[in-house]
Every structure is written in structure tokens, then in C-alpha cells.
Structure 1
Amino acid sequence: MTTRTETHFTPIDQNLYAKAFQLLDPTPEPPVPPALAAPSPVSVILAAGPVHHPGPVEKTLTDALAFLDTHGWAKHRLIHPEGARCSIGALRAAAGARNAAYRDAGRLLLDEARRQHGSQWKGIPAWNDAHTGPQVRSVWEAAIQRARHLNI
């Protein structure tokens, strides 16, 4: 068995010794003017502004749109065999149940569909089936923004 031994040592930086002795016997440094001082962690957090907490309607709409982005968007059926869904199917998947957030999100989505595509739409399924993917997405995004603005 052969053991290798390194005989080369890394030279020590003499400034390292000086810094170590300075840390052991520190001399007070002049204070830094407030304008040059780094901001405290608290001031950084406060400057960042409030964190947005989506309301149940915004969360349902956002989750439903994410579901459509992940699984695909469908026309003329609630759930496509490959997993894509229509707008109502995505809302149901996001809400998990036909609860208040589901109903309010559906109302807001239909209201936005009527704003963008005319007041003739009686329900989300008919509107969903009569439009293109980009048109439907535009309504979803606007509904999410309205829910955020309304803080619902």
C-alpha cells in the first residue's frame, strides 16, 4: 500500500493574521452616516408593500385557469376523454364543490363574458362553445383581474 503525502502548504495571507487580531481587539470604527447605511431587514419588508391574499372567488378563478392551462380547454363537453375541460368543468375542478366561491366565480365569469361578447349569453357553456381559446382566455383573465380589484 502506498500513501501519498502532500508536502506543499498553501501560503498564509499575512492580512488574514492582521484581520484576526483586529477582531480579537477591535478598535471602534467611525459610524456610517444613515444615508450610506444598508436598509434594515424590517424597512426592506415594509418597503415591499403588502402581500396580496386572493379572496375565494379570485382563487377559484385563478385555480380554474391554471387547470385549463395544465389539462387543456374543451368545447361541447364538460370533460374531454383526454382530460381537457370546458369553462364550467374547470370551475368545478377548482372549487371542489358547488359552494359560494364556485357560484360567485361563475357569475363573475359570465358577467365578463357578456361585457366582452354581448349580453345574449345565458350561461357559460353556450358562451364557452361559441368562442375560440384566446377569446375564452381573455374573459378568464379579465374576470380574475376584476375579482382581485373587488377583493373577493
Structure 2
Amino acid sequence: MNTRTESHFTHIDPDLYAKAFELLDPTPEPNAPAASAAPAPASFILAAPPVRLTGAVEKTLTDALNFLDTHGWAKHRLIHPEGARCSIGALRAAAGARNAAYEGAGNLLLDEARRQHGNQWESIPSWNDSHSGAQVRSVWEAAIRCAHHMNI
């Protein structure tokens, strides 16, 4: 095998980085000398860790649980006269419309309800009406964790 590697590196002006950083941050440091003959040492910008955005399903589930915490949880009716809602009512309030986030959140919530309480549940309202507030909250919290881990 006759592989030739030729290294033709272009010389870089050492002041180039200092000039680039000056362009990126043109404000002089307080009490810094105006101009010096020697080039300033290059400063390093440390990148922040990537920000994880909350997915639409996770946000819908979180907002719905916050709604239940704020307005109350109800059984056997979508909206109680005093403002409390059942799980599906809270999902509708949080999503604002029957959109993809609403559907995804509902599917994830029902999947978690079935995982914790058995596969016999056909709908969120039937599951909601058959369990205690603590059991319902446990399912909500697990569904939110699942959406977070799935990044949805």
C-alpha cells in the first residue's frame, strides 16, 4: 500500500484569535489598558451544557397535573361546579385543543394506568373514576417521568 500523507498546514496568525474574540465581545474590560503592544492572551469561552427542551407531551402532562393541583381533582364528571376536573378534563384544559400533544399525553397516561392498575381500563375516565386521588396522582407522575425520559 502506497499511501502518501502530506501535511501542508497553513500558518495561522497568532493574533487572529485575539482579534476574533475582540469582535465577539467588543466591550473593553473595566480598568483595562487601552492598547498594548503585546497581544492579549486568548480567552476561552466555555460552552454551556445543551439545554433540554421540554417536549409537548411532557408539558401537557405537567400542566394538567398542575391544573389538578390548583383546581382540584374530581370523579364521575368532567368538570365539577367548583372547578375541579377529572383526569381527562385536566388534559383538555392543559392542551387547549385535541392536538397531537393531547393525544400523546392521553395515550401515555392510559398506558401508565394500565401498567399500574391492570389492562382492563378502556379509557381514562373509567380508570380515573375507579381509583383514589393518591393512585391517580401516582399514574400522572409516572407518565410525566416517562415522557421526560422519552423526550416527548
In structure 2, give the amino acid aligned to 1:111: D
Residues 8-52 of structure 1, C-alpha deviations (whole Å, 9 max, x = no match): xxxxxxxxxxxxxxx8xxxxxxxxxxxxxxxx9954x62xx3333
| TM-score normalised by length of structure 1 | 0.69
Query: Is the alpha carbon distance of 1:76 and 1:51 closer, same or farther for their aligned partners in structure 2, counting shifts above 3 Å?
Result: same
Which residue number in structure 2 is paired with residue 93 of structure 1? 93
Which residue number in structure 1 is paired with residue 79 of structure 2? 79
Which residue number in structure 2 is paired with residue 124 of structure 1? 124
Which residue number in structure 1 is paired with residue 59 of structure 2? 59
Which residue number in structure 2 is paired with residue 70 of structure 1? 70
CA RMSD after TM alignment:
2.0
* Bigger helix fraction: 1
In structure 2, give the amino acid aligned to 1:132: S
| TM-score normalised by length of structure 2 | 0.69
Unmatched 5+ stretches in structure 1: 1-22, 24-39
Greater radius of gyration (CA): 1
Query: Is the alpha carbon distance of 1:42 and 1:130 closer, same or farther for their aligned partners in structure 2, counting shifts above 3 Å?
Result: farther
How many residue pairs are counted as aligned between the two chains?
113
In structure 2, give the amino acid aligned to 1:113: A
Establish whether residue 50 from structure 1 lines up as the match of residue 33 from structure 2. Answer: no
Unmatched 5+ stretches in structure 2: 1-30, 32-42
My pick for the range that moved more, 73-82 or 50-59, is 50-59
Aligned mates of 2:145, 2:102 — CA distance in 1: 17
Residues 88-140 of structure 1, C-alpha deviations (whole Å, 9 max, x = no match): 00000000001111011000000000000000000000000000001000000
Which residue number in structure 1 is paired with residue 148 of structure 2? 148
In structure 2, give the amino acid aligned to 1:51: V
Moved over 6 A (4+): none
Matched-pair identity in %: 77
